[in-house]
Amino acid sequence: MASAVEPKKKNNVMYAFTCSILASMASIILGYDIGVMSGAALYIKKDLKITDVQLEILMGILNFYSLIGSFAAGRTSDWIGRRFTVVVAAAFFFSGALLMGLAGDYATLMLGRFVAGVGVGYGLMIAPVYTAEVSPASARGFLTSFSEVFINVGILLGYVSNYAFARLPLHLGWRVMLGIGAAPSVVLALMVFGMPESPRWLVMKGRLADARVVLDRIAETPEEAAERLADIKAAAGIPEDADGDVVPVPKRRSGEEKQVWKELIVSPTPTVRRILLATLGLQFFQQASGVDSVVLYSPRVFQSAGITDDDQLLATTCAVGVTKTVIVLLAAILLDRVGRRPLMLASSGGMVVSLVGLGTGLTVVGRNPDASVPWAVALCVTSTLAFVSFFSIGLGPMTAVYTSEIFPLRVRALGYAVGVACNRVTSGTVSMTFLSLSSAITIGGSFFLYAGIVTLSWVFFFTCLPETRGKTLEEMAELFGAKTAAGADEVEDAARRETDSSSSRLLG
């Protein structure tokens, strides 16, 4: 009998794996949009003759635009389903890429950036949500990390595109770099027809028969499929004895959303307040570390380090992308083996050392503009690669994982959204001020400043972030100061639906 069950388990995991790969195509495209701009910016500035302020606005504004897409995606995915929300994301990516590729002036380029930014917001939300909802319990942690992994793959492809098209004429090269991003958007939209709809959305619409079909394909056993269906029904407010192919779904109470805001923001319990503080601190420090300054402006950084040849600049930038992608894959493997806290502390500690090294190298090169200082150039390149490695092993992928785990179920969706909003605003602010900051305190001074911020983050992580690996949701509340009884009250529904906790994390 065991031999008959084992192949089914393997096939079901592979089916969920395939679905996750398809959904993660959205993450590749949004990663490409981020990565390709780093090299394209060199040529945009020369061709359109824009100022540094205009350039940093162009680079960083995507993060603010993405907030629109992130909040709209929740409503859209509840209305038309997860699959077709992926199509909406693809449509924004396609339109944004075409507008940027055909842009004849700065205003049109900004318009294309806006459209692409909305698509990035859709992709940031829908890819991990869909993946979580179609993953079997045993593989959910690994599969939901695909979103971060594929963002890094997309960034790497953006760097490769910079290198591949850099030899085209100035007016054409950057337009091809940006415009070619429209092609994978078409592929993504077509792939949707090979993806099943999310079982959670099907249950939310009362389509229990369709949900059972999907759950039977993604669950490892019939028992798990039945248990997950019961959990999702309970979360949707469908009575346990409702068992038709299509059943009515209770409407939300009008004041329910306001109550959730009150419980999270207006008058939270001490436990929820500590969880919210941990989330906002983690999301803020991830971006305040200066990672976007390295990812978006790496050619500029290497230029300041003394690497002036365009081919060498873009090749070194590609090395950053390769390093980032390989290390984030390693992080996905270590996530449940080593634990969250050790990885984040090691990550932030290594980032401090790397940033000090980068700041030192850039300062030495800056003070010797007419002399070649090979050791300082080597220190800059090595420190940059070390920085992205330490970021990608901990603080990069762990931020979303940790945030999604610690909130009680009732406020998890809103809590995650608030955390992402903090993340995007911080990222946009850092991206849009890097060039101005470098002019004010030198580029080396900028990275010394980031090193100081990351030092503060290490202290924050050490004092405010307990280890969550292997903890139940009830234990999560206790980790953040809830009494045993209070903790049980606060998460009783979440603990009862433990097996569906990951797929519930971004929904509201």
Q: What is the rounded CA–CA span in Å between residue 479 and residue 486?
A: 12
Residue 46, number of CB atoms within 10 A of its CB: 12
Q: Which amino acid is at 20?
A: S
Residue 4 · residue 98 · CB < 8 Å? no
User: Which residues are 207's β-sheet partners?
Assistant: 246
User: Which residues are 22's β-sheet partners?
Assistant: none
Q: What is the rounded CA–CA span in Å between residue 475 and residue 477?
A: 5
CA angle centred on 476, ends 471 and 480, rounded to 5°: 140
DSSP line for 376-444: HHHHHHHHHHHHHHHHHHTHHHHHHHHHHHHS-HHHHHHHHHHHHHHHHHHHHHHHHHHHHHHHHH-HH
- Predicted confidence at residue 296, as pLDDT, reads 79
Query: Who's near 185: CB < 8 A, 6+ residues apart?
Result: 29, 90, 91, 93, 94, 97
CA angle centred on 173, ends 179 and 27, rounded to 5°: 40
Q: What are phi and psi of 246, to 5 degrees?
A: -130, 125
- Predicted confidence at residue 389, as pLDDT, reads 93
Residue 381 · residue 320 · CB < 8 Å? no
Q: What is the rounded CA–CA span in Å between residue 374 and residue 31?
A: 32
Q: Which amino acid is at 40?
A: A
Q: What is the rounded CA–CA span in Å between residue 16 and residue 321?
A: 27
Q: What is the rounded CA–CA span in Å between residue 50 and residue 56?
A: 10
pTM of the predicted model, to two decimals?
Answer: 0.76
- Predicted confidence at residue 489, as pLDDT, reads 46
- Closest C-alpha to 473, from 436, 500, 507, 434: 500
Sign of CA dihedral 204, 409, 64, 198: negative
- Closest C-alpha to 351, from 384, 324, 305, 318: 384
**What single DSSP character describes residue 246?**
B
Kindly give the residue spans of alpha helices, DSSP state H, lying in 49-169: 52-80, 82-101, 106-133, 140-144, 146-165
- Closest C-alpha to 123, from 194, 196, 31: 31
Q: What is the rounded CA–CA span in Å between residue 197 and residue 204?
A: 12
Kindly give the residue spans of alpha helices, DSSP state H, lying in 219-269: 222-236, 256-261
**Three-class DSSP category at 480:** coil
Query: Who's near 240: CB < 8 A, 6+ residues apart?
Result: 230, 233, 234
- Predicted confidence at residue 245, as pLDDT, reads 75
- Predicted confidence at residue 252, as pLDDT, reads 63
Q: What is the rounded CA–CA span in Å between residue 279 and residue 422?
A: 9
- Predicted confidence at residue 496, as pLDDT, reads 41
Q: Please give, one letter per residue, the 3-state secondary structure of 437-452.
A: HHHHHCHHHHHHHHHH
The radius of gyration of the chain from alpha carbons, rounded to an integer in Å, stands at 23
Burial class of residue 485 (count of CB atoms within 10 Å of its CB; 0-12, 13-18, 19+)? exposed
- The token duo for 160 is 């490769």
Q: What is the rounded CA–CA span in Å between residue 6 and residue 295?
A: 43
**At how many degrees (to 10) do helices 443-464 and 340-367 cross?**
160
- Closest C-alpha to 149, from 318, 328, 21: 328
Burial class of residue 308 (count of CB atoms within 10 Å of its CB; 0-12, 13-18, 19+)? exposed
User: How many distinct helices (H) and strands (E) make up the chain?
Assistant: 23, 0
CA angle centred on 337, ends 465 and 151, rounded to 5°: 75
- The token duo for 252 is 């939300």
Q: What are phi and psi of 254, to 5 degrees?
A: -60, -30
Q: What is the rounded CA–CA span in Å between residue 446 and residue 440?
A: 9
Per-residue tens of pLDDT for the chain, all 508 residues: 444 444 445 567 778 778 877 877 778 887 888 888 888 988 999 999 999 889 989 988 888 898 888 888 877 887 888 888 888 988 999 999 999 999 989 999 999 999 999 988 888 778 777 877 777 766 665 676 677 788 888 888 988 898 889 889 988 999 999 999 898 888 888 888 888 888 888 988 888 888 888 888 887 778 878 888 887 787 677 887 777 777 787 776 556 667 778 888 888 888 889 999 999 999 999 999 999 888 878 887 888 877 877 777 778 888 888 888 889 888 877 877 888 889 999 999 999 999 999 999 999 988 887 777 889 889 998 999 999 999 999 998 888 778 877 877 667 767 877 888 898 899 989 988 998 999 999 999 999 999 999 999 999 999 999 888 776 555 677 888 766 434 444 444 443 443 344 333 333 3
